[in-house]
Amino acid sequence: MNASALAASLDQAVVSTVGDAPRASAAPAMVAGWRQRLARLRLWWHVLRLALGCLHPRQVPGALRALHAERARVRLGTRFKYARFGGRWHWDLHAPAWPSPAFDAYVRRELGRVATPDTSPAGLQTVIVAITKRCPLRCEHCCEWPVLNRPETLSRAELVTLIARLQELGVAQVMLSGGEPLQRFDDLCHVLAGARPTSDFWLLSSGVGLTPERARRLRAAGLRGVALSLDHHDPQAHDAFRGRPGAFAAVSAAAAAVRAADLALALSLCPTRAFVSGSALRRYAEQARALGAGFVQLLEPKAVGHFAAQDVALDDAQRAELEDFCLRLNHDPAARGLPLVSYPDFTRRRVGCQGAGQRYAYIDTDGLLHACPFCRTPAGRVLAGEPQDFARLLDDLRARGCPGDAACGERPRVGLAVRVRRPSGAAPVREARA
Ligand code: SF4
C-alpha cells in the first residue's frame, strides 16, 4: 500500500470508528511539519549547549554524532512528529520530555556515556516500580497474578527510600505500576511530592479510579504522564479481557481526566492472537487519536502470570503485522496525526534486550530487582544494605543479562544484519544491525 492509499484507509477508519470511539476533550497531541522541525532544531540546539557545558569541546562533535546515530539505530530513523503535552515535547515514550530538569540530567548522562563508551556502562533509563499488590481487575494477561491482592510488604517510607535510590543513580524515568497504583493514592501523592524533578514520573494504570480531581492532584504532586491499558477498540472485548464490566468506560473517562490535567497520555495494548489484524490496529490507532494519546505501547502476550503455561505467543505473521504497524505510525508521513508507537519486543529482536539493567529494569511489589516485568529471576532486594549496594545489584543484573527464556520468546539474534521491512510502497526505512 502506498502513502496515499494508507491515508485513504486511515480516513476510512476515521469514518468507520468515529461513531463509537471514546473522546477526550483536549487538543490533538501530535505535532508534525514545520512546527516539529523547528522544535527538533531547538531541542538539538539545547543538547549542543548541554554538551558544551559538560564535555571538552573536542569531544562534542563525536558525542553528538554518536548520540544521533544510536537513536537512529534503535528507533529506525529520525521521527517526523512529536507529542506535545503540558508545554513539553515528547519524542520518545521512554525518555524525559523537553524542556525539563529531567531531560537535562538525562542528556548529560547520555553524553558522558557516548563520549567514554569504554568506561561508562549503558545508562539506566527507565525503571518500572510496582507499588501495590492491590487491584480491582482480573486481567487475562496479568503478570502480577501470583501476588495480586496479597498483603502489602512495602511501607510508604520504604517506597520513598526506594525512589530516592533510583534518583541517586540518575534514573531518568520512573514508571509507577502495581497492581493498580491508584489503590495507594495517598502514598502515590506522597512519593511523588518527595521526589526530585530530575526524573519524569509516569503512572501505569487501568484507569479505574482516575477522576479529574485525582489527575489534578497527581499533576500537582509531580506526575508527568499516564499510560492507560486499553486492549481492544471494542468496549465489550476490553471489559472481557480485563475481567470487569465498565473497564473500557473507565479508560475513556481517565483519558479525559489526564488530558484535562495537562498530563501526557499513552495507551498500552496487549495484542493477543485474537486481536492482531490490520483493520483492528487501524481502528485502535484512530481510537488512540480520539482519546488524545501521544503514544501507543505494544506489549506482546507472554506465558507468565495469569497467562502461565498457556500457548499465547504470537506467530511470525502476527509479529510482522505489528512491526509494520509500528513502522507506519512512526515513519510514514500519512500517519502524521496518529500516535507514536513503542514496541519493545521489536526493538529486542533488532538490537537486543534493553532490559536487565541495560536501559530499563523492574522492581516488584516486594522491592526485588528483576530484568523486566516478565523475566522474574530476582537479582536482590533494592532496599537491603546501603545505597551503594543497589549499584552493585544493578551491575550483577547487567552481568547476568537477559534471561532470554520462554517469557521473552526466542533469544535475540546477535551480530546479524537484519533488513527491516518498510511500509509497503514507502521509502526505505533503514537497515539495522541486530
Ligand atoms: S494487569 Fe494490571 S490492572 Fe490487570 S489485574 Fe493485573 S495488576 Fe490489575
Q: Which residue, by CA, sits nearest to atom 1 of ligand 1?
A: 142
Residue 282 has pLDDT above 50, yes or no: yes
* Residue 70, pLDDT score: 82
Residue 172 forms part of a structural domain: yes
**Ligand 1: lining residues by beta carbon, under 6 Å:** 135, 137-139, 142, 144, 178-180, 206
Q: Element (H or E) spanning 201, and its range? A: strand 200-205
State the chain's mean pLDDT as an integer: 86
Measured in Å, residue 55 CA sits from the centre of ligand 1 at 44
For 321, half-sphere exposure in the C-beta direction (CA atoms, 13 angstrom radius) is: 17
**Alpha-carbon gap, residue 264 to 227, rounded angstroms:** 8
Ligand 1: which of 128, 129, 133, 139 to mutate, most ligand atoms within 8 Å of CB?
A: 139
Residue 327 forms part of a structural domain: yes
Residue 25 forms part of a structural domain: no
- Of 131 and 354, the structure prediction assigns the larger pLDDT to 131
Residue 5 has pLDDT above 50, yes or no: no
* Residue 219, pLDDT score: 98
Residue 71 forms part of a structural domain: no
Q: pLDDT for 67-125, tens place per residue?
A: 888 887 777 666 789 999 999 999 999 999 999 999 999 999 889 888 877 666 567 88
* Residue 434, pLDDT score: 23
**Alpha-carbon gap, residue 102 to 112, rounded angstroms:** 16
Give the mean pLDDT of 407-418: 45
Alpha carbon of 434 to those of 63, 73, 79, 318: distances in Å? 22, 10, 20, 20
Residue 389 has pLDDT above 80, yes or no: yes
**Alpha-carbon gap, residue 202 to 307, rounded angstroms:** 26
- Tell me the pTM: 0.88
Number of domains in the chain: 1
Measured in Å, residue 205 CA sits from the centre of ligand 1 at 8
- Of 392 and 410, the structure prediction assigns the larger pLDDT to 392
Give the mean pLDDT of 181-188: 98
Q: Element (H or E) spanning 85, and its range? A: strand 81-85
Closest atom of ligand 1 to 179 CA is: 7
Share of the chain above pLDDT 90, in %: 67
Q: Are 307 and 409 in contact (CB under 8 A)?
A: no
Distance of CA 225 to the CA centre of its chain: 10
* Residue 13, pLDDT score: 37
Residue 90 forms part of a structural domain: no
- Of 356 and 10, the structure prediction assigns the larger pLDDT to 356
- The helix/strand count (H/E) of the chain reads as 13, 15
CATH code of residue 250: 3.20.20.70
Give the mean pLDDT of 133-138: 97
Q: pLDDT for 342-385, tens place per residue?
A: 999 998 888 877 888 788 899 999 999 998 888 888 888 999 88
Greatest CA separation found in the chain?
60
Measured in Å, residue 214 CA sits from the centre of ligand 1 at 20
Q: Which residue, by CA, sits nearest to atom 6 of ligand 1?
A: 142
* Residue 288, pLDDT score: 97
* Residue 422, pLDDT score: 42
Residue 20 has pLDDT above 50, yes or no: no
Residue 59 forms part of a structural domain: no
Which DSSP string corresponds to 374-405?
A: S-----EETTSS-HHHHHHHHHHHHHH----S
Name the least confident of 180-194, 213-227, 270-284, 345-359.
345-359
The range of the structural domain enclosing residue 287 comes to 126-433
Ligand 1: which of 149, 150, 206 to mutate, most ligand atoms within 8 Å of CB?
A: 206
**Alpha-carbon gap, residue 320 to 296, rounded angstroms:** 17
DSSP 411: P
Residue 388 forms part of a structural domain: yes
* Residue 375, pLDDT score: 85
Residue 315 forms part of a structural domain: yes
Alpha helices (H) in 332-386, listed in sequence order: 344-351
Residue 172 has pLDDT above 70, yes or no: yes
* Residue 6, pLDDT score: 40
Task: Name residue 336's amino acid.
Answer: R
**Going along 282-423, which residue ranges are E strands?**
295-298, 340-342, 360-363, 368-370, 380-381, 417-419
Residue 296 has pLDDT above 80, yes or no: yes
Name the least confident of 53-57, 119-123, 174-178, 397-401.
119-123
**Alpha-carbon gap, residue 377 to 200, rounded angstroms:** 27
DSSP 101: H
Q: How many C-beta atoms lie closer than 10 Å to residue 119's C-beta?
A: 8
* Residue 223, pLDDT score: 98
Residue 247 has pLDDT above 60, yes or no: yes
Residues near 11 by Cβ (< 8 Å), separated by ≥ 6?
A: none
**Alpha-carbon gap, residue 54 to 277, rounded angstroms:** 48
Share of the chain above pLDDT 70, in %: 84
**CA geometry: angle at 352 spanning 350 and 353, to 5°?**
130
* Residue 7, pLDDT score: 39
Give the mean pLDDT of 412-427: 39
* Residue 119, pLDDT score: 62
Q: Count Cβ neighbours within 10 Å for each residue of 391-426 and write b for 16 or more, e otherwise.
A: eebbeebbeeebbbeebbbeebeeeeeeebebbeeb
Alpha carbon of 4 to those of 28, 220, 281, 316, 341: distances in Å? 22, 43, 18, 27, 21
Q: Are 343 and 318 in contact (CB under 8 A)?
A: no
**Alpha-carbon gap, residue 224 to 158, rounded angstroms:** 22
* Residue 136, pLDDT score: 96
Q: Are 31 and 303 in contact (CB under 8 A)?
A: no
* Residue 354, pLDDT score: 81
**CA geometry: angle at 406 spanning 400 and 407, to 5°?**
80
